[in-house]
Amino acid sequence: MFAGGTHSEYPMPAALNYDDLKDAISRVYPTLPRQLQLIARFALDKPNELALGTVAVVAEAAGVQPSALIRFSNALEFGGFSEMQQVFREHLVERSVSYRERIDQLRRSGKPQGVGSGVLHQFVGEAVSELGHLEENVAEADITRAAKLICAAPHVHVLAQRRAFPVASYLAYALSQLELKTYLLDGAGGMLANALANIDSGDVLLVASFHSYSQEVVDAAAAAHARGVSVIAITDSTLSPLKPASTVCFELSLGSEKAFRSLVAPLCLAQALVVSTGHRLTEQSTRGVPPAAKRTAKGAVKRTAQRKGAR
């Protein structure tokens, strides 16, 4: 438990790079008091603002007292805020100035948005910003790994609720168009538990959920993971409760403070995942490797014939 906020309670060295710092924040997050959890989420959602802001500016943006930033830094084994901030600044320098920062600068220097076309302009700018963030946060290796899991699975089950449901709906539709045995777990008629019970250990469960997370989706992912099912998660942060149960976890670093949160980045990732899966299926077909579902069906027919012959 966190008591007093001194760094001696966390026996780990201070992180030397941004990736290690993200992992460190994830480890200590459950033990932090609410104010420090707000800082943790702010640091992961808006690392550039933390890298460039003063203690007072960052504290105001995160909605905490300035002293909380010092306690947060100490909890991560840093001597103070400036020492922790240096890791964020080095990360920013490594990435250079991307189109996302340029667009952010243009938006900040623009006129206040009104109604009509002004609202459209605002949402388009935010969507482009999200897409730039998406490219920075999603590794090609993770997309390839997820596509491999999907291609190798006899059945693909897709689950999301509330705001994330359109992502699941698209994935279920698009993957079924690739002639994969895909099932959208929409929970119609209160049958979600039954549908989850039908997932076999060789199958894949694709889940999507964003802050604040759907508990049913989180519980389903954890239960599937415990049964040996490969779980692919699309979520918004390294602090997401979906991460521990995930075989592959896409952390999109989506800000949760907006009144109307966009689905542009999750849907773009979903499309990339579908197209990557399609490319892999085409490569397998060229090599004469049948889809997993057909291999499973042939195996079932062969086993049935063997049982009949043994009678």
What does the pLDDT average to over 36-49? 90
CA–CA dist 41, 22 (Å, integer): 10
pLDDT at 8 over 50: no
Q: Choose which CATH entry (1.10.10.10, 3.40.390.10, 1.10.1060.10, 3.40.640.10) describes domain 7-95.
A: 1.10.10.10
pLDDT: which is higher, 118 or 64: 64
User: What pLDDT score does 286 carry?
Assistant: 83
pLDDT: which is higher, 130 or 195: 195
pLDDT at 300 over 80: no
User: What pLDDT score does 110 carry?
Assistant: 54
Q: Which amino acid is at 93?
A: V
CB-based contacts of 231, cutoff 8 Å, min separation 6: 204, 205, 207, 221, 224, 225, 242, 245, 246, 247, 248
Query: Where residue 93 falls among pLDDT bands split at 50, 70, 90?
Result: confident
Q: Phi and psi at residue 29, in whole multiples of 5°?
A: -50, -50
Q: What is the mean pLDDT of the chain?
A: 82
Query: Where residue 200 falls among pLDDT bands split at 50, 70, 90?
Result: very high
pLDDT at 175 over 80: yes
pLDDT at 207 over 80: yes
| Structural domain boundaries in the chain | 7-95, 100-137, 140-295
Question: 7-95 and 140-295 share one CATH topology?
Answer: no
For the CA atoms of 219, 222, 227, 232, the dihedral, rounded to the nearest 10 degrees, stands at 110
Query: Where residue 125 falls among pLDDT bands split at 50, 70, 90?
Result: confident
CA 169 centroid distance within chain: 17
Q: With a threshold of 0.85, does the pTM exceed it?
A: no
User: What pLDDT score does 198 carry?
Assistant: 92
Report whether 20 contacts 51 (CB < 8 A).
no
Determine what percent of the chain is predicted with pLDDT higher than 70. Answer: 78
pLDDT at 23 over 50: yes
pLDDT at 295 over 80: no
Specify the CATH superfamily of domain 140-295.
Glucose-6-phosphate isomerase like protein; domain 1 (3.40.50.10490)
Query: Where residue 119 falls among pLDDT bands split at 50, 70, 90?
Result: confident
Report whether 168 contacts 251 (CB < 8 A).
no
309: exposed, middle or buried (Cβ count in 10 Å: 0-12, 13-18, 19+): exposed
CA–CA dist 264, 181 (Å, integer): 26
